[in-house]
Amino acid sequence: MTLLEQPDPINAAERVFRRGDDSAVLRISEADAEMVETVDIDPLSDEPMIVNMGPVHPSTHGVLRLVLEMQGEQVLRSKPVIGYLHTGMEKTGEQLSYLQGGTNVTRMDYASPLFNELVFSLATEELLGIEVPPRAQWIRTMMCELNRISSHMLFQATNGMDVGAVSMMLYGNRLREETLRILEKITGLRMNHNYIRPGGVAVDLHDGWREDIAGLMDLLPPLIDEFDELLTGQPIFRERLQGVGAINAEECLALGVTGPILRGSGYAWDLRRDMPYLNYDELDFDVIVGTYGDCFDRYAVRLNEARESIKIVQQCMEKMPTGDYRLQDKKVTPPPRARIDESMEALIHHFKIFTEGFKVPEGEVYVAVESPRGELGCYMVSDGGAHPYRMHIRAPSFVNLQTMPHMMQDALVADVVAIISSVDPVLGEVDR
Amino acid sequence: MTSLPLAVDPLFVGGVGLEEVLIVALKVGVAFAMLMVSVMLMIWFERKLHADMTNRMGPTITGPFGLLQTLADGIKLFFKEDLLPNDERGDSAIFRLAPYLTLIPAFLIFTVVPIGGDFDNADGKVSWWGNTTQLQIADPPVGILFVLALSSLAVYGIMLAGWSSGSKYPLFGSVRASAQMVSYEAALGLSLVAVLVKSGTLSTHDIVAGQADGWNWNLWMTGFIPFIVFLIASTAELNRPPFDLVEAEQEIVGGFHTEYSSIRFALFFLGEYMNVVTMSAIMVTLFFGGPDGPIPFFESFGWAWGILWFMLKVLAFCFTFVWFRAALPRFRYDQLMDLGWKLLIPLSLGWIVALVALDLAASEGWNRPLVAVICFAGLMLMGTLLNAAVQSGKRKRLAGEGFD
């Protein structure tokens, strides 16, 4: 094509680049996006460029794919494409018994697995109509807050990394590792613990857990303060995040956003305080809110939430009661291993629970907890059998992902990365 | 042939014979080997140091303290498949050429750097077997211009690499590279002017000679500001963090070298680290007196002491660059431009005026304190005005009014 010639009208391309459409969301099918790639556009024309960011990209937090319509470095519209990690976990959940379900849901949000187990267990328990012993409640609270610290530290690591502060990657992960070490000692695994189960928790806290956790609680605060030193006051870091990806509380509510993004925009909504579950009504902690709803506020909210979690864990340690770590109802929890050798009944119960599972009364239930990413809900329907008839997880990452196009409008490529990072999606949870 | 027009090396006075050729060949060989080894060590140094700063070990397996890690990486990359873009989308010929365009200037810049010599007690020249020579490969009278020219040339390598890849992320990197390097080239050049005004020469050898005896280092003679501007601008010129937008891994995957593999990628890597070493050497030459330093004993080997001091100073700068990388987040594209055009360039321009005014005051016998006060007031006034203009522009942009 010579330069003087009018470029061949790109029908398909014109169809997708609807000029004058100033919405933030790029409405283009993936097939069209691929087709536009092949269209021979006049190099001198100022047609926007379609850039596929992901699913394989260093900073899309897994396999998120973003189709960006770009004018130079500026994003005009964008479209998040998900599903690259879809493994049908909700459907799988229907094939597994309630006891096995924990291993399934724990793999959804792999950065905060205990919350998934918690919400699944709470839903099951509500259907069963059982009350777990107080010690189990407190263990669950404490473990979840430890998990929240590790998840927020992972955020600090990736957020620092995404704005180019490569050392933060290792500082954040170090703090996370220290926390995971304790979780591993208690649950046996670093991730995907399957520790919180219907009826209580899998095992009691080990001997010397107080020293271990107290040591961690002494170790963390000064290291978290290091983030303040290296990032919060750092001019380049502030420049990069302040005013980037701002979203206000009304928009958040309209999009169904929860968690640090909502709180960052100044709306104090925390299920732990507003709809208390476990023992949160007996604990003293602050709900951290931001002001501007930009990336910096979300960073600050998460950093300070980790500090609040430390406070909560310390309170849990003080208030930890003695007693059973799980319900001693033989229809729900298996008997202790030692009893199997002596008691025929115990053997039968053990066998029944691990082969057939326990039956759950008919009914449906929705339970929500505050995960590090927002409202994590579990909707469960039981038909009276040993498997859930339907299990749906309201994944906060999935809902929060909707904000991306709105935050990214008119942002630069560098901002796109900061925004993805500040939404902090876990793709395992998004796709499930 | 008594005098060569461009290379007035004392070695060639009295004609060029076999001895002279051998000496030049020796110097070239030594410089080449030194640079290659120093690049290898620089990569190791960066990895070790950054590991230290982030609670890691860094390379430990290959060789003592992991010293041979770079070599191992190089060999591995050499045996990797070499992928080229097809000619429909990219340009494989330019794609092949680009790595050399970054590598060769990095080599050539080093030729004008005096790496040793005794500038305190002698004129910095050494005598070997009756031949007087300088410890630098060449000393053209336009040495500094040569450095500037070559460092500008390095842009082409990066720009063409990104462009010829025929892929989008490299294109981003390439566009960023051209804008960034062109704007920081200006700041780099302007901060150099202060040095040139003080030294009154463009030859690197004479600049170093002018700084002999610690108190004459251009660092304090030019009042720190040009050095700071030069340090920032050269970091940007090297595409080192926090100015590594060109290859910003988190944003544009690998920038200009996204599509490069095998030995071509290794060449870029080599070029980048070689640039770090040579730019550190240039900074030492310009502001820190080059090989200047104390000579406690073995005075007849003063030149060897020079080499030692020179290397220590270069090492200090290499450390600084690694430190930048470990501590600082990356700039955004527009912030980078803001820093360059709205701060560094006006600052170095104003500083030149002030320096020249003070120089004039010294030679004309004016009242120096008064001139200094006037200069300072003028700088402050200009700074305030500029800031006001920038702020009003920002307000307009945020209000969406535009500039037309």
Please name the residues in contact with B227: beta carbons below 8 A apart, sequence gap of 6 or more: B191, B218, B219, B283, B287
Kindly indicate the confidence band of residue B364, based on its pLDDT and cuts at 50, 70 and 90.
confident
Average pLDDT, integer, range B80-103:
84
List CB contacts (< 8 A) between B175 and chain A.
72-73
In a domain, B2, yes or no: no
Residue B2 pLDDT exceeds 60: no
- Taking the C-alpha atoms of residue A370 and residue A260, their distance in angstroms, rounded to an integer, is 10
Tell me which of A284-298, B34-48, B52-66, B206-220 is least confident: B206-220
Please name the residues in contact with A158: beta carbons below 8 A apart, sequence gap of 6 or more: A59, A61, A169, A172, A421, A424
For residue A128, which phi and psi values (nearest 5 degrees)? Answer: -75, -25
- Taking the C-alpha atoms of residue A185 and residue A206, their distance in angstroms, rounded to an integer, is 8
| Same domain? A184 vs A312 | yes
Q: Which residue in B175, B327, B334 is closest to A412 by CB distance?
A: B334
| Same domain? B323 vs B371 | no
| Same domain? A178 vs A320 | yes
Give the distance from CA A356 to its chain's centroid: 31
| Same domain? A226 vs A111 | no
pLDDT at residue number B14 = 66
Query: Can you read off the two tokens belonging to residue B105?
Result: 């200037």
Kindly indicate the confidence band of residue A153, based on its pLDDT and cuts at 50, 70 and 90.
very high
| Same domain? B266 vs B158 | yes
* Domain end position, chosen among B282, B303, B331: B331
In a domain, A28, yes or no: no
- Taking the C-alpha atoms of residue A395 and residue A378, their distance in angstroms, rounded to an integer, is 9
* Domain end position, chosen among B267, B300, B331: B331
| Same domain? B279 vs B189 | yes
List CB contacts (< 8 A) between B328 and chain A.
164-165, 234, 236
> Number of folded domains in chain A?
3
pLDDT at residue number A407 = 87
Residue of A nearest to B339 (CA): A236
| Same domain? A192 vs A62 | no
| Same domain? A150 vs A296 | yes
Tens of pLDDT, residue by residue over A133-144, are 999 999 999 999
In a domain, B143, yes or no: yes
List CB contacts (< 8 A) between A49 and chain B.
168
In a domain, B4, yes or no: no
Q: What distances in angstroms separate CA A406 from CA A24, A67, A307, one per listed residue?
A: 5, 14, 30
Residue B285 pLDDT exceeds 70: yes
pLDDT at residue number A39 = 66
Tens of pLDDT, residue by residue over A209-247, are 899 999 999 989 998 888 888 888 888 888 888 888 888
Kindly indicate the confidence band of residue B303, based on its pLDDT and cuts at 50, 70 and 90.
confident
Amino acid identity of residue A318, one-letter, is E
Say if strands A196-197 and A74-81 run parallel, antiparallel, or are unpaired: unpaired
Collapsing DSSP to helix, strand or coil, A74 comes out as: strand
Q: What distances in angstroms separate CA B81 from CA A211, B92, B162, B259, one per listed residue?
A: 54, 15, 19, 12
Collapsing DSSP to helix, strand or coil, B140 comes out as: coil
Tens of pLDDT, residue by residue over A357-409, are 888 889 999 999 999 998 999 999 999 888 899 999 999 999 998 888 888 88
Tens of pLDDT, residue by residue over A112-131, are 899 999 999 999 999 988 88
- Taking the C-alpha atoms of residue B117 and residue B307, their distance in angstroms, rounded to an integer, is 7
Tens of pLDDT, residue by residue over A412-432, are 888 899 999 998 888 888 888
The residue with tokens 């992960």 is A173
Tell me which of A30-44, B152-166, B245-259, B280-294 is least confident: A30-44
Collapsing DSSP to helix, strand or coil, A136 comes out as: helix
- Taking the C-alpha atoms of residue A8 and residue A18, their distance in angstroms, rounded to an integer, is 17
pLDDT at residue number A3 = 41
Tens of pLDDT, residue by residue over B26-66, are 888 988 898 888 888 888 999 999 998 888 888 888 888 88
Q: Which residue in A58, A166, A174 is closest to B325 by CB distance?
A: A166
- Count of CB contacts below 8 A, A vs B? 84
Per-residue DSSP letter, A258: -
pLDDT at residue number A5 = 42
Is the CB of residue B139 less than 8 Å from the CB of residue B205? Answer: yes
pLDDT at residue number B1 = 40
Query: Can you read off the two tokens belonging to residue B36?
Result: 């290659």
| Same domain? B221 vs B367 | no
| Same domain? A237 vs A340 | no
* Domain end position, chosen among B310, B331, B352: B331
| CB atoms B250 and A416 under 8 Å | no
Looking at every residue in chain A, the average pLDDT score rounds to 85
Q: What distances in angstroms separate CA A354 from CA A131, A194, A350, one per listed residue?
A: 21, 15, 6
pLDDT at residue number B10 = 67
- Taking the C-alpha atoms of residue B380 and residue B376, their distance in angstroms, rounded to an integer, is 6
Say if strands A74-81 and A49-53 run parallel, antiparallel, or are unpaired: unpaired
Query: Can you read off the two tokens belonging to residue B207?
Result: 């600049």
Residue A6 pLDDT exceeds 60: no
| Same domain? A358 vs A274 | no
SS3 labels along A43-54: CCCCCCEEEEEC
The residue ranking higher by pLDDT, B259 or A47, is B259
Q: Domain range for residue A427? A: 48-84+395-432
The residue ranking higher by pLDDT, B90 or A185, is A185
Query: Can you read off the two tokens belonging to residue A383?
Result: 């038909």
Average pLDDT, integer, range B290-307:
74
Q: Domain range for residue B175? A: 10-331
pLDDT at residue number A329 = 80
Left if phi > 0, otherwise alpha if psi is -120 to 50, otherwise beta: which for A364?
A: beta
pLDDT at residue number A366 = 93
Kindly indicate the confidence band of residue B214, based on its pLDDT and cuts at 50, 70 and 90.
low
Q: Which residue in B50, B53, B242 is closest to A164 by CB distance?
A: B242
Average pLDDT, integer, range B74-85:
87
CA distance B324 to chain A (A): 10
| CB atoms B242 and A231 under 8 Å | no
B86 touches chain A (CB under 8 A): no
CA distance B329 to chain A (A): 4
Q: What distances in angstroms separate CA B370 from CA A186, A320, B172, B360, B366, one per listed residue?
A: 74, 74, 50, 13, 8
Kindly indicate the confidence band of residue A310, based on its pLDDT and cuts at 50, 70 and 90.
very high
Please name the residues in contact with A103: beta carbons below 8 A apart, sequence gap of 6 or more: A96, A192, A194
Is the CB of residue A213 less than 8 Å from the CB of residue A317? Answer: yes
| Same domain? A344 vs A207 | no
Q: Which residues of B175-211 are buried (b: 16+ CB within 10 A; e: fewer)?
A: bbbbbbbebbbbbbbbbbbbbbbbbebbbbbbbbbbb
List CB contacts (< 8 A) between B244 and chain A.
164
Residue B340 pLDDT exceeds 90: no
In a domain, B262, yes or no: yes
pLDDT at residue number B8 = 58
| Same domain? B385 vs B243 | no
CA distance B106 to chain A (A): 26
The residue ranking higher by pLDDT, B127 or B37, is B37
Residue A4 pLDDT exceeds 60: no
pLDDT at residue number A26 = 77
Query: Can you read off the two tokens belonging to residue A221?
Result: 């605060």
Centre a 10 Å sphere on the Cβ of residue B213 and count the other Cβ atoms it contains. Answer: 10
pLDDT at residue number A379 = 92
Is the CB of residue A421 less than 8 Å from the CB of residue A61? Answer: yes
User: pTM, whole model, 2 decimals?
Assistant: 0.85
| Same domain? B21 vs B152 | yes
| Same domain? A156 vs A297 | yes
| Same domain? A296 vs A170 | yes
Is the CB of residue B287 less than 8 Å from the CB of residue B228? Answer: no
**Can you state the angle between helices B302-327 and B262-287, rounded to 10 degrees?**
120
Average pLDDT, integer, range A143-149:
92
Residue A7 pLDDT exceeds 60: no
| Same domain? B137 vs B92 | yes
> Number of folded domains in chain B?
2
Tens of pLDDT, residue by residue over B190-202, are 888 888 888 888 8
